[in-house]
Chains A and B, each alone.
Chain A
Amino acid sequence: MSTVRTASRSSSRAHPRRSRQRSLGPGDRLFLTVVVGIPLLALLVFVWLPALASIGLSFTSWDGLTLSDIHWIGLDNYHQIFTNYPPFWPAVRHNVFWLLFTALLPTPFGVFLAYQLDRKIRFTRIYQTAIFMPMVLSLAVVGFIWEIIYNPDTGLLDGVISAVSSGHHIDWLGNPDLNLWAVLIASGWRHTGYIMILYLAGLKGFDPALKEAAALDGANGRQTFLRVVLPAMKPVNIIILVVTVMESLRAFDIVYVLGGGTGSKPGMELLSLLISDNIIGESSHIGYGSALAVILLLVSLAAIGTFLVQTFRKEDQ
């Protein structure tokens, strides 16, 4: 709320500073206040207020029924989560694993594909379209598509396996040792195309003369990429890093759908799913869920901060 006021107040305070800007009439000022005030209000009420409220609720105990039942319990939720909540550490482990997997396989692979496609070769459009296509599908749809691949009775994967070597059926999504891998394959399927397109855009802005110079100096393809292209692409590299981290932390939908839409399953616990486990459903532990949300928020802040610094550093100058 207060930010709305500061924003409009600052607008009237700030404009005399500027000599080139002709003074704005009262009508202009009203117009600007209204068109910025309404979106700002929407942002504050629907995004920032809930985010702050989550932080507040994380220090309370609440069953989610009546507002008067909220009790301040300090750091108890956090203490409980760290010491006495069995799915928490597996979830953290899975999130870290998710991040490592995505950062080590689909992301470099997407960069590799972008580098391969960023030349004048035929059919490059077709290749790009095919590899990027999973990214335009809803995760609900992606979930169903992989469901009919992983299904132990009717799925493609077990069909192929049993055609080659008759025998046991593997329950890809049910087996707690396998299901995270299965989901990661499906997620990597989407992520690769995303990174590829982002990197391709970056490469479009890369000065081809540098690459030519490297080639003239006798550098081979790999050397050119590692020593010339990659260092010159630092801003894009940071963006891709941030995207990878954010996507790994936020991973929810695809796990939710492939887990059968009932919350976290053994072997596939993730922070985002633990949050919804605690706040949706009959026994809602709002404080608990909020504390988990705050932990997720704190971890994401590293990525958000990196992104903001990278983006706005130039603008401050």
Chain B
Amino acid sequence: MTATATPPASRSRTPLAPAAAAPGGPRRQTGRHLMLGGIALLWLVPLLWAVYTSLRPYSDTTRHGYLSWPRSISLQNFSDAWSQSGMPHFFWNSVLITVPAVLGTLLFAAAVAFFVSRFDFRWNVALLMLFTAGNLIPAQVLITPLYRLYLLLPLPAWMSDSLLVYNSLWGIVFIHIAYQCGFCTFVLSNYMKTIPKEISEAALVDGAPVWRQFLQIVLPLCRPAFAALATLESIWIYNDFFWSLVLIQTGDKRPITSALANLQGQYFTNPNLIAAGALMTAIPTLLVYFALQRQFISGLTIGSGKG
């Protein structure tokens, strides 16, 4: 795990790899491709089926059954799902939750990681363990007292019209930050340990205050880790629906993932519309995944200890 925790080391090993690739016989390679291709295709079937269903009009599928050749293909279901159910509004809620939560998580985690990895205070390991373990506690263990706590904590009117942390987007942002901070702290502190201490010691000798070391030296050097974590965390936070399911009462404040279940009964009355709605919800994460796949996977593997 520590081998994967230091990206520079694993990267430097790549040039060796081509020499190591023992060429199997061409027949064995074909067999392997058939197997892997088959598995990959099998893995895509559920998704492709959803795409196929979503592209067909409801009238067509009722007449001919779902397992039939298409008589017509259109994006009508997507535009219906988009305009009838208020999906844009829920997407906006997701943005309002995801963006501050990711930024907050990274900022907090960076500060704690900096403290833990660049200084030799006595409680550092304990502190890091406290953060890391926090992320491993099952969410269901926290939810009851958290719900009660949210009903007690006030927020000013400009932040929450309920005047409470409960039933406000801020509440969801808070719990995401607190809960996800552990994982990011863990990854970032591993990363910061790979930055030579001499760099910041030189700055210290020059009389630079600690906050400048943090902002101007350490943070810029952590850019690759930030990119990886930001990708990973935005997908996780966007995808989450448990917190908002319990901590938000009003349906129209929910992010898209937890709103989806409500939309099913009210607006998405047939499987074609449901498929279209579900796929549209997935589009942002799929786009991020395709565009930033490298960051995503390296984020997952820098701290492959994500529980």
**Chain A residues near B (Cβ < 8 Å):** 3, 6-7, 10-11, 13-15, 17-18, 20-22, 24-25, 27-28, 31-32, 35-36, 38-40, 42-43, 45-51, 53-54, 57, 64, 113, 116-117, 119-123, 126-127, 129-134, 136-141, 144-149, 151, 154-156, 159-160, 163, 189, 192-193, 197-198, 200-202, 204-205, 208-209, 211-212, 215, 235-236, 239, 242-243, 246, 249-250, 252-253, 257, 261, 271-272, 275-276, 279-280, 286, 289-290, 293-294, 296-297, 300, 303-304, 307-308, 310-312, 314-316
Contact = CB atoms under 8 A, between A and B. Distances in A.
A204 B145 contact: no
SS class of chain A's interface: helix, strand, loop or mixed?
helix
A303 B307 contact: yes
Contact of B141 (A6, A39, A54, A123): A54
A57 B146 CA distance: 12
A231 B141 CA distance: 35
Contacts of A24: 210
A151 B271 contact: yes
A297 B211 contact: no
16 contacts: A7-B123, A36-B115, A51-B141, A54-B145, A123-B37, A133-B43, A140-B258, A140-B278, A148-B53, A154-B66, A154-B271, A197-B300, A201-B304, A250-B140, A300-B136, A312-B128
Give the most central of B20, B40, B144, B240: most A CB within 10 Å. B144
B175 interface: yes
Interface string B80-91: 000000000000
Contact of A235 (B1, B29, B65, B120): B1
B209 A50 contact: no
Given A14-B123, A27-B209, A311-B132, 5 more contacts: A116-B32, A139-B241, A140-B260, A148-B49, A293-B141
A145 B112 contact: no
Interface in B117-141: 119-123, 125, 127-134, 136-141
From A22, A35, A271, residue with most partner B Cβ within 10 Å: A35
Contacts of B240: 138
Interface string B12-32: 010011101110000001001
Nearest to B238: A138
A236 B1 contact: yes
B286 interface: yes
A54 to B, nearest CB: 5
B70 to A, nearest CB: 14
B304 A39 contact: no
B281 A141 contact: yes
A243 B129 contact: no
| Chain B interface category by residue count | 35 or more
A21 B296 CA distance: 36
B142 A14 contact: no
Interface stretch (B71-79, B156-164, B177-185): B177-185
A136 B111 contact: no
Nearest to B211: A31
A42 B107 CA distance: 13
Nearest to B165: A46
Nearest to A247: B307
A131 B137 contact: no
Nearest to A146: B46
Contacts of A117: 36
* Minimum-distance CB pairs A-B, first 8: A201-B301, A208-B20, A205-B3, A159-B67, A53-B145, A138-B239, A120-B21, A46-B178
B261 A140 contact: yes
Given A43-B130, A189-B46, A208 B144 contact: no
Interface string B48-68: 011001000000010001110
Contacts of A193: 43
A316 B128 CA distance: 12
Given A35-B111, A137-B239, A279-B144, A246 B120 contact: no
B92 interface: no
A304 B146 contact: no
A51 B132 CA distance: 14
A119 B144 contact: no
B112 A40 contact: yes
